[in-house]
Structure 1
């Protein structure tokens, strides 16, 4: 009986030992496989270019093996990852006003060598990934948002990389989008704001590519051939003309791997040349455009502000008082509050790589257009002469600093801010220094900056409406 029991226990024990050994062995080799996989992921901390900075957001920055700048913020709170590749490939890179920047960017996901447009859309949808792209005057961008779980993220990034690097600009897709773009132009031609903005930029930048309208015109659209888009892509969608922004629930090592994968199919290429400097107007320009409307749209301004500009904070804080604060500003309070001439009246700076515009804008009844324009002029003249009050400045600083964290309240907002940082080559501590730079602004510095940078004798005015 004892022998039988002992033998049975021996057999059971041997089986259990074997099972345990198999489990342990499986776990060991599984762990080794994971470690082997992780070993393939190179940490950017090993790169000489690597920097990290804590503060408003915790930023990691390095240059990957392609020499491309990468900006990464780890955000593990949600299981998602936002990846944005930005290129110096905005409409300012168009030649002869032909809208290659728009079409080359828009048609990226309309087919590659491996996937047609329907398959691309279906695969992104199946993976729960969100794709988007766009082109501004300075910058073009391509975004993907994916779940961070590897079974979704790996496939989404692979497809995203294929879209960026291997677009097939076929005649059929181009022809369809030409018709869509022409339809959009016709719609814009019925919108006084679009008519005014187009005319304003043409008057503001007569010798600069900033004058080019994103969609061009019907004649320039019809000139585009697939070979033109391929050439634009080859010249501007290259590793040395890009930066990669990653925000989300991935490790530093994975972020580096993603940054390399999304650019792997692109040529090294060259960084786009510096844009031509903006020539300032030599005299006042006024352009009146007849348009059947009860409202007249007025735009009044001149080229002023670069992103990296020593007067940036004095001008931006000063404008918050003049016409930028949606709650309380001089332009709105005077044009709307005191005189009842407009529902909308404001001013803003649009900083760009070269001198972007300062604009005062309002929409008013056609019969009051001349009076409203006179108010804008007198408000600006008085502001240049006297500047803001100390109370106005204190309120503006409180408003700007209080709202600053909202610029970083989501992954997509963080990615947008990092895009500005990366594209305009701003210092890594730019966000951390924001409060200090705003605090440094004085009423005297605002008055001085406005007096030096805005010349009332060189202002451009565009008016669209019946009263013109």
Structure 2
């Protein structure tokens, strides 16, 4: 995997930007989508390459995407693992990789000084496009992954998370853990990783995002250099739509602990769904705004059942979940569950005007802080590019939030969520 290599520490000051970012986009001759923002405030460059190669592409080989991502950048035809690490440190660059259900992503952060930029880009390019899958490194990474998976088996929070996704998605590609299982990772072969790399790590399946002190012409040159050795290939096929629940599901996993970890939720919406704004605003009020949320007020402040409680939406290529979460003493688990459900039902019935306006003001007033650095900007434009959102998404987001009424929010929540059909998971010894 691309290691998180700090090298010489690169401390980024916040860059004040407006929501009206000048996002430019184009497509390379090999079919890759490019997202670009010129940010001259600092002599730095951020590059992120995202492939539609997340765990949803594992098939029956769970953990394949995660293991492939872990291997990319560990060795090239010219450089071994130690040499890659030494060169990255010497340049003061930062190279990293990550994998989720939808995507595998790889990023570079470097100074734009020519003597640093060109060798950093060359190293990043070779690591990404000319990876060598060394059998010894593969076995080491497999053992590392197995240790992590074994640790998950004694983590009640992770057990609850995995059970919740399985409960919501069942046999859908989102239903299994991103990192796979002990059994599936043990069964992986090096040839599986090579085949996955050759199928999904191709130009037509890539989105490249660039933010920094480079002109568009320079950015185009960077992309051409970066993708020159990647085959064109083809985009990944569309994912199947998950099936909505028709009845409630409840699972209690017996776990020796003083606390019970709780998850409750169901299918939400995909990225780009027109109801997302209303659902996002409603969730911010219900459980997404920390101490300003209804769940925090009802479960913690009024009853003292938890230290923390919240909820979140995770929109993906196809409908992602909405989930509420908390941990509490075993003796109070059932009471906490009831309070969460009652709070959800009451919220979906009526919203207090004053609280609603306060949450809107909080979201709109804090929005500029979401894009006040290059690192945040590249995260957003990668999302916009990968999910095919409008280029003015960031500009329109606070305007749409401002335009929503509480009736809009209530209608959207009642269209998509049904309290009587929730997936509920408890891990612990709920009394």
TM (norm. structure 2) is 0.94
8 Å contact from structure 2 (residues 74, 132) kept in 1: yes
RMSD, aligned α-carbons: 1.2
Cα separation, 2, equivalents of 1:128 and 1:362: 40
**Residue equivalent to 2:190:** 226
d(CA) in 1 for partners of 2:33, 2:129 = 18
Any idea what SS the aligned residue of 2:47 has?
Answer: strand
**Match for residue 80 of structure 1 among 19, 44, 61:** 44
Aligned 8 A contact 2:263 2:426 in 1: yes
Q: For residue 37 of structure 1, what is the aligned residue in structure 2?
A: none
Indicate yes or no: 2:357 matched with 1:394: yes
Deviation, structure 1 residue 97 = 4.4
Partner in structure 2 of residue 191 of structure 1? 155
Partner of 2:386: 423
Matched ranges for 1:230-379 at <5 A: 230-379=194-343
| Residue aligning to 1:385 | 349
Query: Cα offset for 1:139?
Result: 1.3
Match of 1:134 in 2: 98
1:43-82 → structure 2 map (5 Å cutoff) = 56-82=20-46
2:88 to 117, 124, 141: 124
1:409 maps onto 2:372 in alignment: yes
Is 1:96 the equivalent of 2:56?
no
Q: CA deviation at 1:56?
A: 2.5
- Quote the Cα distance in structure 1 between the aligned partners of 2:418 and 2:41: 49
Equivalent residue, structure 1, for 2:416: 453
Distance 1:274 1:142 in 2: 22
2:138 corresponds in structure 1 to 174
Shift of 1:173: 0.7
C-alpha offsets along residues 264-285 of structure 1, whole Å, 9 cap, x if unaligned? 1111011100101011112110
CA contact (8 A) 2:282 2:409 kept: yes
Task: Tell me the distance in 2 between the aligned counterparts of 1:182 and 1:317.
Answer: 39
Deviations 1:359-406 (A, max 9, x none): 1111111001111101111111111222x1221221111111111111
Aligned to 2:177: 213
Partners of 2:61 and 2:188 within 8 A in 1: no
Report how far residue 58 of structure 1 moved.
Answer: 2.0
**2:20–2:392: 8 Å Cα contact kept in structure 1?**
no
Per-residue Cα deviation, 1:7-37 (whole angstroms, up to 9, x for no partner): xxxxxxxxxxxxxxxxxxxxxxxxxxxxxxx
- Alpha-carbon distance, 1:158 to partner: 1.1
Distance 1:55 1:285 in 2: 41
- Give 2:108's aligned residue: 144
Alignment size in residue pairs: 414
Inter-partner Cα distance in structure 2 for 1:286 and 1:87: 35
Q: Distance in 2 between matches of 1:78 and 1:423?
A: 26
SS in 2 for 1:262: helix
Whether the 8 Å CA contact 2:19–2:371 is kept in 1: the answer is no
Verify the 8 A CA contact 1:65 1:260 in the aligned structure 2.
no
Moved more, 254-263 or 388-397: 388-397
Measured after TM superposition, the shift of residue 66 of structure 1 is: 2.5
1:234-280, CA deviations, whole angstroms, 9 ceiling, x for partnerless residues?
11111000011011111211100111111111110111001010111
TM-score normalised over the length of structure 1: 0.87
The offset of 1:207, in angstroms, is: 2.2
Gaps (5+ residues) in structure 1? 1-53
Please say if residues 19 and 368 of structure 2, whose CA atoms lie closer than 8 Å, have aligned partners that are also in contact: no
1:327 match: secondary structure? helix
Highest Rg: 1 or 2? 1
Structure 2 gap segments, 5+ residues each = 1-17
Counterparts of 2:61 and 2:354 in 1: how far apart (Å)?
Answer: 46
